[in-house]
Amino acid sequence: MNFNQTAMTNIEKELHQLKEDIIGMMHLVQNQLTKSSKAFSQQSIPLSKEIHKVENRVNAMELGISKDCENIIALYNPVASDLRLVLAALKIVIYLERIGDHADKIARYVRKEQITDPIDPRLLDAIRFDAIFETAQEMVNDAIDGFINEDTGLARLVFVKDQNLNKLHVNAIKTLAKSGEGDDPGTSESLLTILYLFSIVNKLERVGDLAKNIAEETIFYVEAKVLKHYKKKKKKK
Amino acid sequence: MVQSADKNLNFQVNSNPDMDSKTSKKREQIAKLRSEKANVWYGNKHVIKNVNIAIEPNTVTAFIGPSGCGKSTFLRLFNRMNDYIDTFRMEGKILIDEEDIYDKKVRVEELRRKVGMVFQKPNPFPKSIFDNVAYGLKIQGIRNKSVLEETVERSLKQAALWEEVKDDLHKSALALSGGQQQRLCIARALAVEPSVVLMDEPASALDPIATSKIEELVVELKEKYTIVIVTHNMQQAGRVSDNTAFFYMGVLVEYDDTKKLFTNPSEELTERYITGRFG
């Protein structure tokens, strides 16, 4: 018996490949979100179309990785950290696919020419649109890096940023409501544009939640701790 | 901490995992089976090293670990099966119901009535099904036909074999399938009304259907008996046991709730073993 053997076992090879595939999907989704930000700010229809094309690949990856997880469970009976990786992977691919969906839907407003004219920059400033987009992107990046490097410290940072994003989101909604009622800023914008912005801001807030979910799965995989609904449980006590 | 004696193997484990946790203190108070600093040598070879464990009544406990780790030797301490090995030497205490079974006052025959054992390969006697099950009672001098018949029926029912053999009780046990023979051996062990049943890889020679029947049986039997099972099949340990003990090189590395041990083991060595990283 060689305890210090270095050769990979079959299950190790499978899990290594699984992780590689998840990382591939993570980078793809990361790019989708970056591109959707550009597509929106530049009102770029070609970029928006490109995002939509890649969205099919994201969906296919979700199905492919889920199938791989199913096979690993059926054929290798993983336990302990191996099992946690597979269980985390099954959820992470769903979260990634949803982030991809949001990126695609944000770009859709440009692609379908629902937002054609440049939006009043005073309104965008007032709702801190760039800060919302950047925070959501940062959260996704941190959640991804946390998973890749098995860095639970970085994963926990996502929770802190989520609180910030939630505050930005609430502020944006209030400002958009005022704007819709005809108060400054952004009185020049149509109600439809305000509603589109409302929808985009909501999607970005959801992206932040999904990044947080990925971070929770990383912590589950690495530390075997379940942080989901943690606050609720604490309050009950 | 215990450091590996083998220079090629670098591992450190908690030498006394059972004694450290709060759960184990509770276990100790109600333990059916217990060991205190159990050490075993075969000649000069130290095969069980300072093992402390407390096994609760009416539970299934699985012993897992690579071949030669001492799990079967440790199991056999509980019915003194190792006594037959010339070079066997033991130190420490093995207690059943808090009675030291290695005490000179203990009668081994009486102990084995209390602690039944089922082996890896089914070993029915070349006798009828009825005589196999009634064997232990007859040795005890019980000749009353109705008592024997009642016991045989009850034991075969407990071993989930009655329906399959009730019309063939006087046929040879050797004509049964492997899975049926193993359940017959379980019935034979149960006939003398033990309180503990030790099982040394009871399903390793059986096909998946027979294995599944044995596993179902093990889970059912814990209502009446305390069961300890040695298995190389990690999934089997997961399916049937409440607690699992992982042995490595004679050391009890980890002893915990089975769900905990298979999802989030405390020791890296356990993690590496159950995930197939060595062994």
Whether residues B262 and A3 touch (CB distance < 8 A) is answered with: no
In which band, very low, low, confident or very high, does the pLDDT at A187 lie, cut at 50, 70 and 90? Answer: low
Contact B272 A78 (CB under 8 A): no
Is residue B36 assigned to a domain?
yes
Question: Does the beta carbon of A84 lie under 8 angstroms from any beta carbon of chain B?
Answer: yes
Does A82 have pLDDT greater than 90? yes
* Cβ neighbours of B170 (radius 10 Å): 10
User: d(Cα B263, Cα B266) in Å, to the nearest integer?
Assistant: 10
Low-confidence ranges of chain B (pLDDT < 70): 1-24, 279
Query: pLDDT digit string (tens) for A92-133?
Result: 999 999 999 999 999 998 887 777 677 888 889 999 999 999
Confidence band of A1 (pLDDT split at 50, 70, 90): very low
A79/B262 CB distance under 8 A: yes
B-chain residues within 8 Å CB-CB of A12? 277
In this complex, do B11 and A3 lie within 8 Å of one another by their Cβ atoms?
Answer: yes
Domains assigned to chain A? 10-236 (1.20.58.220)
ipTM exceeds 0.90, yes or no: no
What is the rounded average pLDDT of the residues A73-85? 94
A7/B contact by beta carbon, under 8 A: no
Q: How far is A216 from chain B (nearest CA, A)?
A: 16
- What was the pLDDT predicted at A190? 81
Would residue B148 count as lying in a domain? no
Q: Which of residues 30-69 of B touch A (CB under 8 A)?
A: 66
Is B86 part of any domain?
Answer: yes
Asked if A1 is an interface residue toward chain B (Cβ–Cβ < 8 A), one would say: yes
Closest residue in B to A3 (Cα) is B278
β-pairing, B12-13 with B33-42? unpaired
pTM: 0.82
Q: Does B276 contact A81 at a Cβ distance shorter than 8 Å?
A: no
> Are B278 and A77 in contact (CB < 8 Å)?
no
Contact B11 A2 (CB under 8 A): no
Owning domain of residue B266: 16-124+194-274
Question: Phi/psi at A154 (nearest 5 deg)?
Answer: -65, -40
Instruction: Output DSSP code: residue B80.
Output: T
CA–CA dist A182, B34 (Å, integer): 79
Average pLDDT over chain A, rounded to whole?
90
Tally the domains of chain B: 1
Q: Do B272 and A81 touch (CB under 8 A)?
A: no
A74 close contact with B: CB closer than 8 A: no
Q: Given pLDDT bands bounded at 50, 70 and 90, which one contains residue A192?
A: confident
The reply to whether B223 falls in a domain is yes
Give the model confidence (pLDDT) of A210-234 as tens digits: 999 999 999 999 999 888 777 655 5
What pLDDT is attached to residue A120?
84
Q: Which residues of chain B have a CB within 8 Å of the CB of A83?
A: 262-263
pLDDT of residue B7: 43
In a domain, B92, yes or no: yes
Distance from the Cα of A234 to chain B's closest Cα (Å) equals 23
- What integer pLDDT is reported at residue B206 of this predicted model? 83
Q: Touching check for B234 and chain A: CB below 8 Å?
A: yes
**pLDDT tens for each residue of A63-76:** 999 999 999 999 99
For chain A, give the DSSP string. --TT--SPPHHHHHHHHHHHHHHHHHHHHHHHHHHHHHHHHHT-HHHHHHHHHHHHHHHHHHHHHHHHHHHHHHHH---HHHHHHHHHHHHHHHHHHHHHHHHHHHHHHHHTTSS-SPP-HHHHHHTTHHHHHHHHHHHHHHHHHHHHTT-HHHHHHHHHHHHHHHHHHHHHHHHHHHHHTTPSS-TTS-HHHHHHHHHHHHHHHHHHHHHHHHHHHHHHHHH----TTHHHHHHH-
Compute the nearest-CA separation of A10 from chain B (Å): 9
Q: What is the CATH number of the domain that holds B267?
A: 3.40.50.300
Asked if residue B53 is part of any domain, the answer here is yes
Residue A2 pLDDT? 45
Which residue from A4, A77, A84 is facing B10, i.e. has the nearest CB?
A4
Interface residue B264 vs chain A (CB under 8 A): yes
Domain assignment of residue B167, yes or no: no
Size of interface A-B (CB pairs under 8 A): 48
- Which chain A residue shows the shortest CA-CA distance from B263? A80
* Domain presence at residue B8: no
Question: How high is the pLDDT of residue A234?
Answer: 54
Q: What does the DSSP assignment read for A131-174?
A: HHHHHHHHHHHHHHHHHHTT-HHHHHHHHHHHHHHHHHHHHHHH
**Pairwise CB contact (< 8 Å): A4 & B263:** no
pLDDT band at A191; cut points 50, 70, 90: confident
The answer, for A77 touching chain B at a CB cutoff of 8 Å, is yes
8 Å CB contact of B264 and A80: yes
Q: What gap in Å lies between CA A105 and CA A201, rounded to an integer?
A: 12
3-state secondary structure B216-258: HHHHHHCCCCEEEEECCCHHHHHHHCCEEEEEECCEEEEEEEH
